[in-house]
Amino acid sequence: MNFKSAYSFILYSLLLILTACSDSDNEQELVDLFDVASLDIIDINFPAGSTEGTISINTFFDYTLEGTKSNGVDVIPITSNTRWSVSEGAASTIDQNGRLSAGPTPDTITITAQVGSLSTSTVVNISAAKFHKVVGLNATPVSVNMCQTQQITPMGEYRTDDGTVDGVIEDPPRAVDSNAINTITWIIKNAAGDSPSQSALVVTQNNITELQAFETGDVVIQAQAISQFNNELITSADLAKILGQELELNNNLNSIKVCLESETDLSTCTLDSTDLAQNNTLSLISIGNYQAADGSNFDTNISAYSKWGTDNTSNATIALSADR
C-alpha cells in the first residue's frame, strides 16, 4: 500500500470513528477533509474559457470544475463531491450538477462551487437582452484538421428593447444561449462558385456545437436564425472570414488505414489477411495518422468523419452504424 492509499485509509477510518460522537459541524469538517484528500487536490477553479460573464434570463448554463493536484502542476476534472450554490435571495437556481437556471428578471449573482474545504466563485450578470443574430463562429480563431472535429462556441449579438426599432446592442457579443443555439441553421458553401460545400459540417446536439472537417479548402460558413428581438430571419455574414475568428481547415493528415473495431493499439493495427465468411459482417474503423504542432505523429479514430466504399459492390457493401 502506497503512502497516499494509506493516508486515505487512515483518514477514512478516523472519519468513521469520530462521526459517532461529534456534532454536525465537526462531521462536515471531517467529510470536507476526506473529499479533498481522496482527490489529492490543493485548489479548484472553473476551467479557462468555461464561464460566461453574462447569460440571458430564462436560459440555462452548465458549469464545470477542475482541481489542481498536490504537485501544483497536474489538473483533473472534478465530477463529484461538489456543492453548488448561488447568492442568497436570487431568483436563479443551480443544481448539484452545476446547471444554472437563470431567473425571469435581470440580476447580478454569484455562483460558488465547493469541494471539501476548497471553494471558488464567479459573478454572473443575468441579462434581459435578447438574441438577435450570430456574429462569430467562435470566440477565438478555429483550426481543425481534416477528418477531425472541434467544439466551437458561436457568438451572438444581443439587443435590449428600449422602445426603438433597433434597441440597444449589448457589448461585447457573447456565447449564443441555450434558447437560441439549437435554432440555428448552418449554411456551408464553397468560397469559389457559391455552391454547397462538402468540406465541413456544423452540428449542434444537446446545446454543444461542433465543427467537422472532411477535407481542406476555402469555405463560406453562415448562420441563419430567427431573431428573438424582432422575430426576423437573419443570415449572418461569412463567419469563416470575420477578423479574429478565422477558420483554418488544415491538412496535417499523413495517412489513413482501416482496422478491426476490436483493435486497441491504433498505431500497429492492420487489416491484412482478414477473412469474412459469406453473409457475415465485420466491424471496421478508420484510423488517421496526424502530425502534431510539435512535429510528432499520433493516431486517432476518424471513422465518424470518413467516406466509406468498396471496389466491388456485388460482393460486399458497407452499412454505417450510428457511430459510423
Residue 34: the pLDDT is 56
Residue 246: the pLDDT is 57
Residue 4: the pLDDT is 47
Average pLDDT by consecutive 10-residue portion of the chain (324 residues)? 46 45 57 66 91 94 94 92 94 96 97 93 96 93 83 95 93 94 93 84 91 82 96 93 62 84 89 76 87 85 78 63 42
* Assigned C-alpha cell, 140: 477565438
Residues 6+ apart with CB under 8 A from 233: 224, 225, 226, 227
Q: Per residue, what are the HEC states of the chain?
A: CCHHHHHHHHHHHHHHHHHHHCCHHHHHHHHHHHHHHHHCEEEEECCCCCCCCEEECCCEEECCEEEEECCCCCEEEECCCCEEEECCCCCCEECCCCEEECCCCCEEEEEEEEECCEEEEEEEEEECCEEEEEEECCCCCEEEECCEEEEECCEEEEEECCCCCCCEECCCCEECCCCCHHHCEEEEEECCCCCECCCEEEEEECCEEEEEECCCCCEEEEEEEECCCCCCEEECCCCCCCCCCCEEEECCEEEEEEEECCCCCCCCCCCCCCCCCCCCCCCEEEEEEEECCCCCEEEEECHHHCCCCCCCCCCCCCCCCCCC
Per the confidence metrics, is the pTM higher than 0.95?
no
Residue 312: the pLDDT is 67
Residue 110: the pLDDT is 97
